[in-house]
A and B are shown apart, each in its own frame.
Chain A
Amino acid sequence: GDSVTQMEGPVTLSEEAFLTINCTYTATGYPSLFWYVQYPGEGLQLLLKATKADDKGSNKGFEATYRKETTSFHLEKGSVQVSDSAVYFCALSERAAGNKLTFGGGTRVLVKP
């Protein structure tokens, strides 16, 4: 079945540092890929998505590129802020599976001033 593996946290960074969170997946078909973010005390929010190979999703300074050859969708941000402190989830969905999301375990990011 489908699965998503992402690097374990917590990841602790200083403000303005570069952030990378690795995500790899296995899927039976051709999935869409997503990053969701969960800020403290809030619900899951879509951060960005990509639907086909070599697509780049971007939002709020975050980027991730759909790499079919390496089955990866790594999240990056060039200069993090304290407000980026959150838990980040990589996820995939497949049309044949009812478009339900399969999530990774989440990576907690803490940005210190």
Chain B
Amino acid sequence: DTGVSQDPRHKITKRGQNVTFRCDPISEHNRLYWYRQTLGQGPEFLTYFQNEAQLEKSRLLSDRFSAERPKGSFSTLEIQRTEQGDSAMYLCASRQSGSSYNSPLHFGNGTRLTVT
């Protein structure tokens, strides 16, 4: 169990640029979640996948945001035309569904995005 891995750890970009983040979940986990955390706040749900299917998207996920999990393994989160308000920590988490439904999520260390 190598844990949930996120890349990059930090990203600084200029307003208007596109950015893409990657998440590698724990290998046997079929559910993958994306969260956003701003300074001093709790994480907010963005979207989640079961295998390659995106099952839910928060209304926080504007049309500038898109997430994929093409082969049901790693996932990418892309933000187009970044805005300063997108500056946040983007967290990825995974779990195995089909086990006890209340099994916990395992979180990665996050990607910190700064939009200048």
Q: Residues of A at under 8 Å CB distance from B?
A: 4, 32, 34, 36, 42-46, 49, 51, 89, 91, 93, 95, 98-106
Residues of chain B within 8 A of A101, CB atoms compared:
33, 35, 43, 45, 93, 105
Indicate whether A103 sits within 8 Å of B43 (C-beta atoms), given known contacts A43-B110, A98-B48, A98-B56.
Answer: yes
| Residues of B bordering A, CB below 8 Å | 4, 31, 33, 35, 40-45, 48, 55-56, 91, 93, 95, 97, 100-102, 104-110
List, in ascending order, chain A residues with CB within 8 A of B43's CB.
Answer: 44, 89, 101, 103
Q: Which residues of A contact B48 (CB under 8 A)?
A: 98, 100
Q: Tell whether, in the assembled complex, residue B105 and residue A98 are in contact, meaning their CB atoms are under 8 Å apart.
A: no
With A44-B91, A98-B56: A34-B104 Cβ-Cβ less than 8 Å: yes
User: What are the residues of chain B within 8 A of A103 when measuring CB–CB?
Assistant: 42-44
State A40–B15 Cα separation when bound (angstroms).
28
Q: Distance in Å from the Cβ of B35 to the closest Cβ of chain A?
A: 8
User: Are A99 and B97 in contact (CB-based, < 8 A)?
Assistant: yes
Q: Which A residues lie within 8 Å of B93 (CB)?
A: 44, 101
Contact B105 A106 (CB under 8 A): no
- Which residue of A32, A36, A100 contacts B45 across the interface (Cβ within 8 Å)? A100
- B91 and A95 within 8 A (CB): no
Query: In the complex, which residues of chain B have a beta carbon less than 8 angstroms from the beta carbon of A98?
Result: 31, 48, 55-56
Complex Cα distance, B56 from A36, in Å, reads 23
Q: A98-B55, A105-B42 are in contact. Are A93 and B91 (CB under 8 A)?
A: no
